[in-house]
Amino acid sequence: MPPAATKTKPAPTPRRLPAKDFELKEIELHGHRVAYRCAGSGPAIVLVHGITSTSATWERVMPYLATKFTVIAPDLIGHGESAKPRGDYSLGAYASGVRDLMVTLGHESATFVGHSLGGGIAMQLAYQFPERCERLVLVDSGGLGRELSLLLRAATLPLSEVVLPLLASTRVLDAGRSISRLFGRLGLHAGTDMAELARGHASLADPEARAAFVHTLRTIVDPFGQRVDASDRLYLAENIPFMLVWGERDPIIPVEHGLSTHELVPSSRLELFEGAGHFPHLDEPQRFLDVLLDFIESTDPADVDPEEWRKMLKTGRRA
């Protein structure tokens, strides 16, 4: 049996910064436009969204976090208002891009919070740049098991580039009942999951966004499920404060991935959101804030010893 999930007492609702403080900003990195939101002061928290999403997915929690921390939330390359070049959409490239943004903004290290694809990117950040990762928080994360929804697996099939524009057309997206029935067959429920999936698919009407989506997806997913599995490197997570947050009703990436990861990393903390789907930070923003703030306040930032890191890589276990 995996260790029991941690129970957190609700905290008082914190004050929040005005929404105007989180208006999109732009910076040019390596010749490409990168859009991001940044506000607050104090230790840095980097929020990394999922595939077809944007930094706006964090809008219910950013204004509160920014009263205690510097919050950085990028639109990943290929998403939102950031550039969508022909180029490298691997997890490693995304991790390097997020690292470059935070360093450019003056932050050498941060707590990384990644949702879905963003979880895979956050894990890659912690692996590639351990000295920059103070804490790691994965929210319904990819990269921790094979299973994945049929919807995403189907998008990796040949000729998906031809089919996706039809699924993303205004006429189809406006047909609410048809979309509800389609998502229902795929295990999705009305509410946050459906709304966020519909919003993401609407973005695929843009040819550049569609190409970036397909390139990204095919680096990590095939028709049989997720190709990338970080389980063989999870022993490295014993070296940093590590928390998993999962919606028990997630129809995209099953909660079993969170449970098995928690069992593999006994020092990790697991928070299960019983009524939430794939977007617990949207379904239950207050509880998400409670557990995230409690986790940060109850842990010390990691201080990676290069010699210990070398021994861990050499032996495959914590030194």
Query: Known catalytic residues?
Result: 116, 250, 278
In one-letter notation, the amino acid at residue 269 is R
Task: Tell me which residue has tokens 């098991």.
Answer: 145
Q: CA of 43: how far to CAs of 47, 172, 180, 269, 300, in Å?
A: 13, 44, 42, 21, 12
Q: DSSP character for 204?
A: G
- Mode of pairing for the β-strands spanning 133-139 and 221-222: unpaired
- Compute the distance between CA of residue 267 and CA of residue 269 in angstroms, rounded to an integer: 7
- Interior/surface letters 49-81, b for 16+ CB within 10 angstroms, e for the rest: bbbbbbbbbbbbbbbbbbebbbbbbbbbbbbbb
DSSP label of 203? G
Whole-number Cα distances in Å, 146 to 110, 139, 231, 285: 29, 17, 11, 28
Phi, psi (degrees; rounded to nearest 5) at 227: -85, -30
